[in-house]
Chains A and B, each alone.
Chain A
């Protein structure tokens, strides 16, 4: 089975621009989550999609948005880029759709998109 694929791998943008990142989950996985990773803050949760619906959202401004398509592929968009948005953006898919104490929620990560904002 192919793993999680993220495109592009690297991206350079300037302040004020917007960017769209793409993620193709493992076949059969319906849950897709996005994380931002920076040296200072570590891995921080952005949002999770399941069956084309945003199920959960982290503590990020509205400039960060996403969507999921019927084939479970997901995109993440950041508008009006700021210097502080420079980070590694990771997408993860999960087979588990369930939540709560019996869930396992093992996340399978892509290699990430390295975004640099100049």
Chain B
């Protein structure tokens, strides 16, 4: 069965530095991978989608890479700010092809001023 692992449950980083979050998956070759942000007491919010034939995707200070050989995605936030503090979730499509997502457990990022 498909499995997603996000490298750490929590990550603390100094303001202004680049935060790097890791998402590894097994037993699957997804057509795309998504990243979401979740703040306490709120539902996840979509950030970026990257397809299997794309190596890198950028949106403002966010950058996502997708290595289908390593079965890994890296999520970078450059020039991090305290407002970036949240839990970040990676998600894959269900390997059966159904229209739902399979989520990792998330990494809680804290940006220290």
Which residues of A are in contact with B by a Cβ distance under 8 Å?
4, 31, 33, 35, 41-45, 48, 50, 55-56, 58, 90, 92, 94, 96-112
User: With a CB–CB cut-off of 8 A, which chain B residues contact A111?
Assistant: 41-43
Bound CA–CA A117/B93 (angstroms) = 31
Q: Do residues A107 and B98 form an inter-chain contact, with CB atoms below 8 A?
A: no
> Interface on B for A, CB 8 Å cutoff?
31-32, 34, 36, 41-46, 49, 89, 91, 93-94, 96-106
Contact A108 B46 (CB under 8 A): yes
Residues on A with C-beta less than 8 A from B98 are 48, 55-56, 99
Cβ distance A88 to chain B, nearest Cβ, rounded Å:
8
A100 and B97 form a contact (CB under 8 A): yes
Which of A33, A90, A101 has most B Cβ within 10 Å? A101
In the A-B complex, the 10 residue pairs with the smallest Cβ-Cβ separation, listed nearest first, are: A109-B43, A101-B31, A42-B105, A43-B103, A56-B98, A45-B100, A99-B99, A48-B100, A106-B46, A109-B44
The listed residue (A50, A56, A102, A110) touching B43 by CB distance below 8 A is A110
Contact A103 B94 (CB under 8 A): no
Taking a contact as CB atoms under 8 Å apart, the answer to whether A55 and B44 are in contact is no
Whether A43 and B44, one on each chain, are in contact in the complex, defined by CB atoms closer than 8 angstroms, is yes
Q: Which of A4, A96, A101, A109 contacts B99 (CB 8 A)?
A: A96
* Given A42-B105, A90-B43, A110-B43, CB of A104 within 8 Å of CB of B32: yes
Contact of A102 among B31, B36, B94 (CB under 8 A): B31
What's the minimum C-beta distance from B57 to chain A, rounded to whole angstroms?
13
- Residues from chain A with Cβ under 8 Å of B32 in the complex: 104
Q: Which A residues are in CB contact (< 8 Å) with B36?
A: 107
Complex Cα–Cα for A31 and B100 (A):
10
Contact of A43 among B41, B89, B94, B96 (CB under 8 A): B89
A102 to B32, CA, bound (A): 9
